[in-house]
Structure 1
C-alpha cells in the first residue's frame, strides 16, 4: 500500500515539476499564401458577420446563437456566441491597421474560462498575401499541467489551417469572379 502511495506521490511531483518548468504563455500560429490582395481579405476578417463563411467553428453547432454588438465591423465590433456543442465566448476587435492587421480579444466563458489574444496579419507579397492567424495567451499552473497531455497547437492548429484555407478559397473566388 505504501509503495503505491509513494509511486502516486512521485508521479504527481513529476507532473507538477514538469508543468512548473513550462512557459507561462502559449502561441499557436498558422500561415497561408492567398492569391488576392490584403484589401480583398480584410473585410472577411474585420466583419464578424462574414465569419460564418469561413470560420471552422461556425458549422459545429446548428443551434449556435450569435450576438453582434458595437461597430458593424473594425475597431469595437463585438461577436458573442453560445451553443449546445460549441464553446461559448465573446470576441472584440481591439486593434486594427487596415489592411494589414486585426487584433481580437477572445474570451471563452464555457466550458472553462480563458482570455486570449488572436491576431490576423496580412503581408502583401508578389501575386497575393501571406495571411497569418495567431493566438496567444497566459497559461496558469492548471493549463500548464493540461499542456503536458494536450497541446494547444494540436487542439486548435488544424482549425486555424481549415479557416485559413476557407479564407483563401473565398478570397480567390472573389478575385476571379467565381462565386460558386
Structure 2
C-alpha cells in the first residue's frame, strides 16, 4: 500500500496564541482556508463545541469542493491540533491532518501536514496525480491567508 504526506511550513509574524484559535475553531476557517472560495454555494454545518476536541465541521459543495467532515481529535494549546479529515466525495478517504505551532525569533513557525493512503480508486488516481503537487499549493495559499488573518487579529 502506498502512503503520501503533504507538508508545508510558514513563519508567521504573530505569536502562536493569535494563530492557534484560527485553526482550533472551524468557524474561523472561513477567514483563511484556501477551499472556502471554491464553491460560493457550499453548504456548511458545525457540530460539537465551537473549538477544541470534539469540534466538527461538515461541508458539501460542487464537484471541485466535494464533501466531507473534519473533527478535532487533539488540541494542545498553543502547540498542536490534530484533525480527522474524511472526504466522502469525490471519493472516500481519511486524511489525518496536523497543525503544529513553534515559537521562533520572528513569530511562529506553523506546519500543516496531511497524510493518506492510496488505495482503491485513490491508488489509480495516484498513478497520474501527485498529491503534493495537487494540494501543496493550496496549503501554501492557506498558510499565507492564516498569517494575514492572525495579523488582523493581533
TM-score (norm 2): 0.95
Going by fraction, where is strand more abundant, 1 or 2? 2
Aligned counterparts, 1:7-22, within 5 A: none
Aligned counterparts, 1:82-161, within 5 A: 82-85=60-63, 86-140=65-119, 142-161=121-140
Going by fraction, where is helix more abundant, 1 or 2? 1
TM-score (norm 1): 0.81
Structure number with bigger Rg: 1
Structure 1 residue 42 and structure 2 residue 20: aligned?
A: yes
TM-fit CA distance, 1:141: 5.4
Query: How big is each residue's C-alpha offset from its partner over 1:35-72, in whole Å with a ceiling of 9 and x where there is no partner?
Result: 01111000000000000000000011111110000111
TM-fit CA distance, 1:111: 1.5
Structure 1 residue 26 and structure 2 residue 10: aligned?
A: no
Partner of 1:51: 29
Structure 1 residue 163 and structure 2 residue 122: aligned?
A: no
Match of 2:51 among 57, 61, 73: 73
Relative CO higher for 1 or 2, CA cutoff 8 Å, sep ≥ 6?
2
Structure 1 residue runs without a partner (length 5+): 1-22, 176-180
Structural RMSD (CA): 1.2
Alignment coverage as a number of residue pairs = 153
Query: How big is each residue's C-alpha offset from its partner over 1:25-44, in whole Å with a ceiling of 9 and x where there is no partner?
Result: 11000000000111100000
Q: Where has structure 1 moved over 4 Å in runs of 4 or more? A: none
Distance 1:90 1:142 in 2: 20
For 2:53, what is the secondary structure of its paired residue?
Answer: coil
For 1:39, what is the secondary structure of its paired residue?
Answer: helix
For 1:45, what is the secondary structure of its paired residue?
Answer: helix
Distance 2:125 2:43 in 1: 29
TM-fit CA distance, 1:134: 0.6
